[in-house]
Amino acid sequence: MPAIQFRAGDALILVDPQNDFCPGGALPIEGGDGIMPELNRWIDAAVAAGVPVFASRDWHPEGHLSFESQGGPWPPHCLQDTEGAAFHPALKLPASVIKVTKGVRFDQDQNSAFDQTGLAEELRRHNVSRVWVGGLAQDVCVAATALDGRKAGFDVVLIAEATRPVTPEGGRESMQKMREAGVQVTSDA
């Protein structure tokens, strides 16, 4: 396992490591639960280095427009205050974690943790210039977050070992898009 090298100005962003995106959940991603030990390793290193840890959560109202019943692409998932929307029990979030809630809007989905959450401003308030991103799903919310991070002017590193895609093709396509946008990938180092 490669050593984790944080520097001043880093932040760790865990994207939607929630029960519904893991096997047994409403929108299960193959091996989704398998990333939790790796995320825990990054959390431990971040806490030891004084690097702020952010965790986003998909947090939908009943009948959200992203649900199939409303013509959207997804089965109902991450309903507010349900077990499915809870962070995975194997994830060891530190007391200092900063939670980012998204997917609450009635009029549009928010795949990116940056989308109308104020996350970019909050990162700047913490003097962050580079974000390390892992979580679920690689081809949906992780990719959207990484791409928006680049647009907002941050250096972005994808933690390849700590993410899984909904589909393999989606995973490949999103990886290409992220690389084209200047996202670095841990497995390339």
Using CB under 6 A, pick the residue from 10, 16, 33, 148 that binds ligand VGL. Answer: 16
Taking the least distance from each CB to ligand VGL, the nearer of 137 and 157 is: 137
Angle at 161 between CA 160 and CA 165, to 5 degrees: 65
Q: Which amino acid is at 64?
A: H
Using CB under 6 A, pick the residue from 79, 97, 140, 183 that binds ligand VGL. Answer: 140
Least CB distance from residue 9 to ligand VGL, whole Å? 26
Least CB distance from residue 180 to ligand VGL, whole Å? 20
Considering only CA atoms, which of 174, 159, 188, 165 is closest in space to residue 11? 159
Least CB distance from residue 16 to ligand VGL, whole Å? 4
For residue 60, what are the β-bridge partners?
Answer: 79
Using CB under 5 A, pick the residue from 58, 67, 135, 147 that binds Zn ion. Answer: 58
Taking the least distance from each CB to Zn ion, the nearer of 28 and 103 is: 103
Q: Does 136 bind ligand VGL (CB under 6 A)?
A: yes
Q: Does 20 bind ligand VGL (CB under 6 A)?
A: no
Separation CA 179–CA 1 (nearest Å)? 23
Q: Does 159 bind ligand VGL (CB under 6 A)?
A: no
Give residues in contact with Zn ion (CB under 5 A). Answer: 58, 103
Residues noted as catalytic? 16, 102, 141
